[in-house]
Structures are given as C-alpha cells and as structure tokens.
Amino acid sequence: MSEQRSTDEGRDQPARLLDTAGPSARVLAAFDAQTELPEGDQRSNEDRAWRRLRQQLRAEQAPAARRGSGRRWLAGAGAMIALIAAVALTAGQNRRLAQPRPPVVARQSARANPIPLDSSPRAPATAPAIAPATAPAIAATAAPLPPLVLTSEPRPLPAEPVRLDERIAVIAAAGTRAAAWIDRAGQQHVDLASGVVELIVSGGAHPVLLVHAGDYRFRDRGTVFEVGRTGPAVWLHVKSGAVGVSKAGRPLAVIRANHRWSIGVADAASDTPGRPNPSHARGPATAKAKATTTTTTTTTTTTSSPLAALDVPAPPDLSPPGPAPAVAVPAAPAPAPTTPTVRRRSLPDCRALERQARDDEAQTCLRALAEGNDLSAETALYELARVQQESLGDTAAALVTLKQQRRRFPGGALRDEAELTTIELLPNVGQYRSALDLSEAFLARHPRHERAAELHLLRANILREVFADHAAAVREYQEIDAGAGGIADDAAFFLAVSLESDGRAQEAADAYRRYLKRGTAAHAAVARARLAALAR
Amino acid sequence: MSSLVSALINAPPIIDRCIAGDEAAWRELHRAYYPQVGRFLRRLGVPPAETDDLCQDVFAQVVRYLPRFEGRADFRTWLFKLCISQVNRRRRFRWPALLRLSRAPHDRDRGLFAINGRLEALAGPALPEFSQVEMARRAQLALQHMKPAHRAVLVLFELEGLSGEEIARVVGSPVATVWRRLSYARREFEQWINEGPFHPPTGERP
C-alpha cells in the first residue's frame, strides 16, 4: 500500500504541508517561525561566528604553536612517523633500483583464483612469487608526495611516488610505463602499459579510480592495491579494502584484502616453453594471450570466464595430469626480503580515521581488526558499532554489529557493555518489547549492576509511555533508590505520574508531595499543578 | 554603463574567488549562507546551544572541501549535504555510557509533554488551545523522534522548499526513495501531532 502510494508520488511532486490548512501545517508553521532568528541576532551571530571560524582555521594552520603539550607531543609523534615513512620510501626506492625484478615464475593452475595470503592450502612453500611487491608500503604515504595534475590527456607517471589528488597516491615501480588522466565526469584513470603500480585510495565516496591493464579494469572501493602487467599477463594484489575486476564492461570478480588475482601470467616464466595448450583439450578458449616476461616468451591460451576469477576458495584441481594449464596463480606472498610489509593498523589508527571524518576507512579499518579472536577484535567490533551509530546514524547496522559481537564473544570483556548498548538502541528502532526482554534478562543476571537504576528507569519509561502499563511502570520506578541525581529525580516524579495514571489518586498525591520535598525537583512546577488538580 | 555590465559579466563567481584565496569573498560567502545554515541545523533538531558550534564545523568543512566543489549541483544543496553529514557526526555525545530514553533531555520533555498533553486533553480539543510555542515544541519533538533520513527529507521538502531531484542529490538517494521517505515522515509527523507521545508512531504496539 505504502509502496503504491510512493510510486504514485514519484510521478507528481506532492503539495507541501505548509500550503494546506490542517493541524500539521499549523504546527509545522509554528516550528518554522521559531527557527528564524531576528535579523539583528543573525548579524551579530554571523559576525561572531566568522571571527571564531578564522581563529579556528588559523589554529589549524599553526597547530603546534597554540595547542597544549599533549597536542605538541602528538605533532612530534606525527613528524617522527613521517620521517620514518620517508626513510621507508627511500629504502623502497633504493631496493627497487638495486634489485632487478625477478623473472615471473609461477605455479600453474587451471584457473585464475584469488588466493588468501595466509594459510592457503594451495600455496606450496617453494612457490616463487609472481608479484614481487616492488612498491613501498602504505606507511610511505605519510610522507608528503608531489601532486600530478591530471587533464583529459594522459600524463606519464613519474618514477617517484605522486598524488593524483588528496585521496589517491600512486607509486610506480622502476621501469613501469603508465599514464594517468581524468575524464569529464571527474573519474580518474591509470593506464598501465607494463610494470607495477601501487595505488593507495582513501576517504570519501568510491570508486574514485579506475586502473586499466590491457582488457581488464580494476575499480577501487577504498583500498590499497597493486596492479602489475607484463604483456598480456595481468595481476592484482589487494592489500586492504576491495577492488572490482571487470573486462569489457562485464564484472568478473571483487577481490578483497589479502587476496590476489591474476590472468595470463603462468607461462611467461615457465621453464617449458612451447608446450601443448591444455585448453584446447577442455573446450573452446575465450581468450588468447601471449605472455612475455623479462626473460622468456611463450604463447598460451587462457580461460577468462567470469567464474574464473570469482573471489571464492579455489576448488581442487581436477584437470588431468599432463602439461600445466595456462593460467598461473600467485600462490604465495613474495619473499620477505623483497616484500614490504603493510603495517597492520591498530585501534588508535582507526579512531584517528574516524576523527578525520573518514568514516568509510574507519569502518574498513575496524572490520579488519575485528577479524581476530582477541580482545582487540572484540573492542574493534564494539567501536565499529559506535561509529555506525554515532557517525553514520545507522542504528540498525550498529545493532547487527553488536549482535555479532555478543555471538562471537559470549564471554568477552565487553559483553555487558554491548548488551547495555543494545538495550539502549533498541527503542530507537521501535523494538520496545525486545528492549524490555533483554533488560529483564540482564537485570536477572546483574541485579546490583552499577547501571541497574538506569535500566529500571528505561524499562519504566517504556512501560509507561509505550505500553501504558502504569502498574508495571510503578513497580519499576519503585526499584530505583530514592537518592540524589537525575535518575532518582525522574523516577520519583514519574512514579507519581504513573500512580495517577493508574487511578491511585491518594498514592499519587503522596508521591507528588514526597517528590516536592526533594532538594532538586526538576519537575516541581508540574508536580504542584498535579497536586492541586488532585486536591480538587 | 557598458563597462559595468562587462565587469559584472566578467567577474568571477564568488566560489571561484573563494577558491582563489580571496578572503573578502570568503567573508561574503559566510555572510550570505550563515543564516541559512543555522536555520537548517535548527530545523534538523540541533539544540540552539549547539547550533553555533555546528555552524562553525560546517563552514570549516566548506573551507576544506570547496576546491572539490565542481559546480555541477547548486551550492546550497552541497551545503545542505555537509550540514546533514555534520549533524550525523554530532550525534555521538552520549555514547557509550548512555541510555537515551532515560537520559536525553527531549525524553524528559516527552514526559512533561505527555502530562501537558493529557491536561490539555482533559480541558477539551488539544490542538486549538496550544500556543505557538507549544506547537513549535510539539513539532520539534516529532522531528526528534523520526529517523534521521526521514527527518532530513521532511525538512528539505517542507521547510527548505527543495524539489525531489534536489533532495535526491543532497541525500544521495533516488527520487523515488525521497518520496517514499517523505511519505513515511509525514505519516510519523502527523501521528505525533494527532496522537501524542503516549502512542509512538512506529514499532511494537501493546
């Protein structure tokens, strides 16, 4: 019914409520009038706000000079990190210059499969690296990078790392031939002719970047990834986030963090050049590639159906014994000496991203941390729920995350906190009954919990306001000790209200009187009015 | 005269001047849009005590991101988008030691409001006897109780007068979704206005 109405409304713009004469229009008009400030107030407020804004912007430009010692310490730490990153960057470049890329030699496989870098059963210990990660680690982005201003004309990527904009850093390995450009819609592109590029994309809405390597397209989803190309051989290594792979506009796969994808790279470095093509025996091939490496050249045929690159664990190799199939999979991470390690982010890193309003990245960061089984994983899940609720206003997602936390860590250190937060959020999505049930179970387990009074007040408010069960509300309010503070004040007042609503006038009058004797009676005026009404 | 016309035509728009670092242009921009931002934030339910801070946050974002504004959308809609984003970020103030239903000021108001509403109801038809202040408060409570996405659409359409297409650009949803949210938001709003907080508009019913 509502869907039908909304469809109808989609054709014609509905009339505005303010143009009608109903009670809603009057209420809305009253609210609208209240939101308008007098012109004089507006001018003075604006003037003051402008001065404050200028001060803030100046303070941001000169942070260390105006802030406290803690912030100066943080600034110092940031500078130190930048220095370390710069050293890492330089070291990475030196390594690249000093060590020529090893020849591409890879294990042969029937299909292109993304392989998890960790604990892959298909990764023999002796498998050589297909994708020598020649680009420096992500930490290198902490160093200021020169910008490369893009136009619609492709501009060659320089040998040193550059920034395409505030969110995209590109690091090309030595000898890489690649160009970057921007289209009319603002989409940025990197055309990779040969070599290896590492791309670090952060912040904002995605995708912001497309990498073209031959027939293949790699679309970022907020991530750090490398793309390599040697002739028709193309490989992808996703270090964080996710990357969509497509060919001729047809999506092939989504490759997630710590997975690789490749196609056409096997025989480029095979030690059996010119061997028969196994694809011919299996059926028609869909793509034919001539893979070339720095050392050997051979011809082979690859299968490149969409299934060939799905981001799922690889099935057992059912191909008959014989010559190796065409498509190779990088089955193991690059050897330690040549692979720069991507620093695993910590909880403070994720919080820093959140403070910088980089919510997508903060979520990705927290999700990555939450993959473990330790306290930091549990904390990351709780933090993820907090980000979803506070920064994104997505209560439903926060509840799902909290539920996941309670399921994964049933005896966790934050279990009670997760449960309390769930109870608190449930009324926001209208699940009052669930909030009552969960809080009842919690109070049964922890009758003397430090927040038991808050829980009783929450339950009482729900019972009174939502279910109009005043007798039950009275019982809940009576559970709260008559001490000082806002909770006790509310409880004492609404106890009287509930008694009155339950038809217990004499008890209500007594309760109002007791309430008025409190030192801090926030609802005193209403209580006196009700007491007078009851006396009549 | 012709030189004046020519100067007007050739004068770079204020946004271009801001991007170029013209401080007078920034001042002009701030003066022109500050009232709109403040009003929009108040309409979104930001308490008066927090409006100034949030305004400042919004304009700080404008300063940071204006170079990325491509002019494909109306500047005002872009500004509204920033406001909504900042309001969503602002909603963190009582996490994690909180139980909103019991602690949030508006819930305390809801309790009072409920009693006032009942008193009014005892006296006769409730709405006609409400003062402007009370009606405004009732509207504010209704808006506060809505989902943020519904509230944004309702405010943008009913109070800011944006079209469906403009709202779709602000909230980043298709136009059909905008109308659907508006439909829900109106229903919730009217339910609050007509029935009061003893009968929540959504969720379980006894």
What's the average model confidence in pLDDT over A46-66?
Answer: 70
pLDDT higher than threshold 50 for residue A332: no
Are B37 and B74 within one domain?
yes
pLDDT over 50 (residue B198): no
| A386 at interface of B, judged by CB pairs closer than 8 A | yes
- pLDDT for A146 beyond 90: no
Q: What is the domain partition of chain A in residue ranges?
A: 92-314+321-328, 347-535
Residue to mutate among A9, A31, A436, with most B CBs inside 10 A, is: A31
Residue B190 confidence (pLDDT) above 60: yes
3-state helix, strand, coil in chain B (%, to 5): 75, 0, 25
Question: Residue B57 CA to chain centroid, in angstroms?
Answer: 15
Q: Is A30 on the interface with B (CB under 8 A)?
A: yes
pLDDT value at residue A507:
92
Residue A443: its pLDDT value, please?
92
| Distance in angstroms (rounded) separating the CA atoms of residues B44 and B81 | 12
What the block records as the tokens of A154 is 């492709």
Confidence band of B196 (pLDDT split at 50, 70, 90): low
Identify the pLDDT of residue A73: 55
Query: Is B60 in contact with A56 (Cβ distance < 8 A)?
Result: yes
- pTM, two decimals, is 0.36
For testing contact with chain B, the best of A3, A16, A35 (most B CBs within 10 A): A35
Which tens digit of pLDDT belongs to each residue from A233-272? 788 877 777 777 887 777 777 777 667 777 765 433 333 3
> pLDDT confidence of A282, banded at 50, 70, 90?
very low
Token pair of B16, please? 């271009």
Q: What 3-state class would DSSP assign to A39?
A: helix
B residues 100..119 contacting A (CB < 8 A): 100-103, 107-108, 110-112, 114-116, 119
Residue A417: closest CA among A453, A450, A376, A458:
A450
- Those residues whose C-beta lies under 8 Å from the C-beta of residue A491, and which sit 6 or more positions away, are A453, A456, A457, A460, A477, A480, A482
pLDDT, greater one: A292 or A392:
A392
Confidence tier at B179 by pLDDT (50, 70, 90): very high
Q: Where is pLDDT greater, at B108 or A200?
A: A200
Do B70 and B124 fall within a single domain? no
Q: How far is CA B9 from CA B2, B4, B12, B21, B70, in A?
A: 10, 9, 8, 21, 20
Q: What is the pLDDT of residue A272?
A: 32
- Give the end of a domain, one of B90, B123, B139: B90
* Whole-angstrom distance, CA of residue B159 vs CA of residue B36: 12
B174 vs A221, more confident: B174
Closest-approach residue (CA) in chain A for B136: A31
Q: Which residues in chain B touch residue A469, judged by CB atoms under 8 angstroms apart?
A: 206
pLDDT of residue A334 exceeding 50, the answer is no
* A240 contacts A257 by C-beta, under 8 angstroms: yes
CA torsion, ordered A447, A453, A457, A459, to nearest 10 deg: -20
- Which of A48-62, A110-124, A494-508 shows the lowest mean pLDDT across its residues? A110-124
Is residue A353 classed as helix, strand or coil in its secondary structure? helix
- For residue A437, the model assigns a pLDDT of 92
Q: Does residue B185 share a domain with residue B119?
A: yes
Are A13 and B163 in contact, with CB atoms under 8 Å apart? yes
pLDDT-wise least confident of A453-462, B33-42, B117-126: B117-126
At residue A100, what is the residue type? P
Q: Residue A60's pLDDT band (boundaries 50, 70, 90)?
A: low
- pLDDT band, residue A12 (cuts 50/70/90): low
pLDDT at residue A259 in the model: 72
Indicate whether B206 belongs to any domain: no
CB spacing of A30 vs B139 below 8 angstroms: yes
Chain B interface disruption, residue of A46, A494, A523, most B CBs within 10 A: A46
- Contact, A192 vs A229, CB < 8 A? yes
Q: Check whether the bond before B12 is cis (ω within 30° of 0).
A: no
Asked if the C-beta of A94 comes within 8 angstroms of chain B's C-beta atoms, the answer is: no
Candidates A240, A258, A255, A221; CA nearest to A366 is A240
Residue with more model confidence, A514 or A187 = A514
Say if residue B127 is in the same domain as residue B84: no
* B202 lies in some domain: no
Per-residue pLDDT reduced to its tens digit, A233-242? 788 877 777 7
Most confident region among A55-64, A238-247, A473-482, B110-119 by mean pLDDT: A473-482
Measured in angstroms, the CA of A88 and the nearest CA of chain B are apart by 29
pLDDT of residue B114: 34
With a CB cutoff of 8 Å and minimum separation 6, the contacts of A322 are: A278
Would you call B39 an interface residue with chain A, using a CB distance cutoff of 8 Å? yes
Q: Which two tokens stand for residue A297?
A: 């050249």
Note whether residue B36 is domain-resident.
yes
**Per-residue pLDDT tens over the stretch A477-523:** 988 877 667 788 888 888 998 898 888 889 999 999 998 888 777 78
Q: Which residue has the higher pLDDT, B194 or A352?
A: A352
pLDDT in tens, B118-152: 333 333 333 334 566 767 777 877 887 788 889 99
- Count of domains observed in chain B: 2
Same domain, B108 and B65: no
Which range among A78-82, A131-135, A320-324 has the greatest average pLDDT? A78-82
Last residue of a domain, one of B46, B71, B90: B90
User: Residue range B48-77: average pLDDT?
Assistant: 82
Contact B175 A10 (CB under 8 A): yes
B50 lies in the same domain as B123: no
Is B203 in contact with A466 (Cβ distance < 8 A)?
A: yes
Three-state secondary structure call for residue A358: coil
The per-residue pLDDT for A364 is 86
- Whether residue B182 lies within 8 A of chain A, CB to CB, comes out as yes
Question: Does A17 reach chain B within 8 Å, measured CB to CB?
Answer: yes
Same domain, B106 and B74: no
Is the peptide bond between B96 and the residue preceding it cis, with omega within 30 degrees of 0?
Answer: yes
Q: What is the nearest CA distance from B203 to chain A, expressed in angstroms?
A: 4
Residue B23 sits in a domain of what CATH number? Answer: 1.10.1740.10
Residues of chain B positioned with their CB less than 8 A from the CB of A57: 60, 63
A391, B42: Cβ pair inside 8 Å?
no
Distance (Å) from the alpha carbon of A8 to chain B's nearest alpha carbon:
9
Mean pLDDT of A364-388: 85
Size of interface A-B (CB pairs under 8 A): 202
Do A9 and B182 make contact, defined as CB atoms within 8 angstroms? yes
Task: Give residue B154's pLDDT.
Answer: 92
Structure tokens at A159: 């040998």
The pair of structure tokens assigned to A344 is: 């695993």
Structure confidence at residue A475 (pLDDT): 92
Report the first-to-last Cα separation within chain B, whole angstroms.
Answer: 74
Query: Residue B81 — left, alpha, or beta (φ > 0 → left; ψ -120 to 50 → alpha)?
Result: alpha
Instruction: Give the Å distances, CA to CA, from A18 to A14, A32, A37, B155, B193.
Output: 12, 10, 19, 11, 15
Whether residues A6 and B183 touch (CB distance < 8 A) is answered with: yes
The topology under which CATH files domain A347-535 is 1.25.40
Beta-carbon separation of A16 and B158 below 8 A: yes
CATH no. for A92-314+321-328: 2.60.120.1440
Are residues B125 and B145 both part of a single domain? yes
- Cβ neighbourhood burial of A281 (10 Å; 0-12, 13-18, 19+): exposed
How far apart are the C-alpha atoms of B132 and A456, rounded to whole Å?
35
Whether residue B206 and residue A28 make contact (CB cut-off 8 A), yes or no, is no
Q: Tell me which chain A residues have a C-beta less than 8 angstroms from the C-beta of B59.
A: 49, 53
The answer to the question of residue B163 being in a domain is yes
- pLDDT score of A308: 30
Among A444-448, B73-77, B151-155, the least confident range: B73-77
**Cβ <8 Å between B59 and A49:** yes
CA distance A254 to A56: 42
Interface of A with B in 430-489 (CB under 8 A): 430-433, 451, 454-455, 457-458, 461-462, 465-469, 486-487
DSSP string, B31-58: HHHHHHHHHHHHHTT--HHHHHHHHHHH
Residue A391 has pLDDT above 80, yes or no: no
CA A183 – CA A153 distance, rounded (Å): 9
CA distance B98 to A391: 16
Q: How confident is the model over A156-181, as pLDDT tens digits?
A: 888 777 888 777 778 887 788 888 88
Q: Which residues of A90-111 are buried (b: 16+ CB within 10 A; e: fewer)?
A: eebbeebeeeebbebbbbbbbb
Q: Does residue A290 sit at the B interface (CB-CB below 8 Å)?
A: no
Look up tokens 């190309």; give the residue: A229
Range of the domain at B156: 100-195
Which of B53, B69, B90 marks a domain boundary? B90
Which residue, chain included where needed, has tokens 């019991």?
B102
Cβ of residue A523 closer than 8 Å to a chain B Cβ? yes
Same domain? B115 vs B63: no
**Above 70 in pLDDT, residue A339?**
no
For residue A253, the model assigns a pLDDT of 74
The full DSSP string for A437-496 is: HHHHHHHHH-TT-TTHHHHHHHHHHIIIIIS--HHHHHHHHHTS---SSHHHHHHHHHHH
CA distances from B152 to B147, B159, B170, B175 (A): 9, 10, 9, 14
Cβ-based contacts of A391 with chain B (< 8 Å): 88-89, 92
Q: Do B58 and B129 fall within a single domain?
A: no
Bigger pLDDT: B165 vs A132? B165
What ranges make up the beta strands (E) of A23-118? 108-109
Q: Which pLDDT score, from 0 to 100, does residue A307 have?
A: 27
Judge whether B52 lies within some domain.
yes
Q: Which residues of A touch B101 (CB under 8 A)?
A: 424, 427, 458, 461-462
Higher pLDDT, A38 or A439: A439
- B45 within domain boundaries: yes
Enumerate residues 6+ apart whose C-beta is below 8 A from A356: A203
Task: Decide if B205 is inside a domain.
Answer: no
* Cβ atoms within 10 Å of A409's Cβ, excluding its own: 20
Q: Are residues B123 and B186 in the same domain?
A: yes
- Minimal Cβ distance to B96: which of A386, A462, A523: A386
Predicted pLDDT at B128: 38
Tell me: do B84 and B106 sit in the same domain. Answer: no
